[in-house]
Structure 1
């Protein structure tokens, strides 16, 4: 069984996934717009270039998403995408990148359970938790 977050955007899925690919690395497997798909007739003509499905693979897990149809977007709440890592420098880099034009909810800092932990909502409205395990 795999668990992969599926994120919904208000028309900026393509920009978000290009940003995530740059910040997190991985491989952008899919960036499928409505235009040219069987779903093209289900959205307004000006929505054709919006993303029907995006998929970014990062090691053995994936991040997926799409643009919500017009008028159906709801602000993400009640969850965070949690990234677990062991390299404090990588944790700093990713946290700082996600924080650009976003909102820091908890600064990245040492905690009793982690070498580094922080929470941020990125510029696309997606909440993230960065957790870097404590050294043994």
Structure 2
């Protein structure tokens, strides 16, 4: 396996969420597809057609992807079963991303040097997504 791309589901605010992530991480969307432009969604309620069918934001060597869950499907509930762990290139970049993602959210573990050697912190962003931010000089690919 080479990589895992997280796929996030939201109840109608995917565009807001991904614009927020774009403001923190930078870059451009690799794809934005709306329901109205997707074959098979013609019978969808008009108020949902501008929702996001698929969106993709490259972040480093990964891609964060997401969608709006149509109201005809079971709606998303915020939970704690998934955290996104992102490995940064520097302490400064770690601090910048931590500060950006925690704005309006909950900083659960401030960035700090950890006993295992990483500079690490945890937070839940304002959309209920848990993040683990890490910087290390260790090469984890050889472990």
Q: TM-score scaled to structure 2, two decimals?
A: 0.85
Matched, 1:56 2:57: yes
Q: Give the number of equivalent residue pairs.
A: 136
Matched, 1:116 2:84: no
User: In the TM superposition, what is the alpha-carbon distance from 1:135 to its structure 2 partner?
Assistant: 7.5
SS in 2 for 1:86: coil
User: In the TM superposition, what is the alpha-carbon distance from 1:110 to its structure 2 partner?
Assistant: 1.4
Structure 1 pair 118/37, CA: closer, same or farther in 2 (3 Å)? same
CA RMSD of aligned residues (A): 2.0
Whole-angstrom distance in 2 between the partners of 1:108 and 1:116: 6
Whole-angstrom distance in 1 between the partners of 2:15 and 2:97: 19
Check the 8 A contact 1:88/1:115 in 2, yes or no. Answer: no
User: In the TM superposition, what is the alpha-carbon distance from 1:8 to its structure 2 partner?
Assistant: 0.8
Whole-angstrom distance in 2 between the partners of 1:57 and 1:35: 24
Unaligned runs of 5+ in 1: none
Q: TM-score scaled to structure 1, two decimals?
A: 0.89
Unaligned runs of 5+ in 2: none
Check the 8 A contact 1:14/1:31 in 2, yes or no. Answer: no
The corresponding residue for 2:38 is 37
Check the 8 A contact 1:114/1:133 in 2, yes or no. Answer: yes
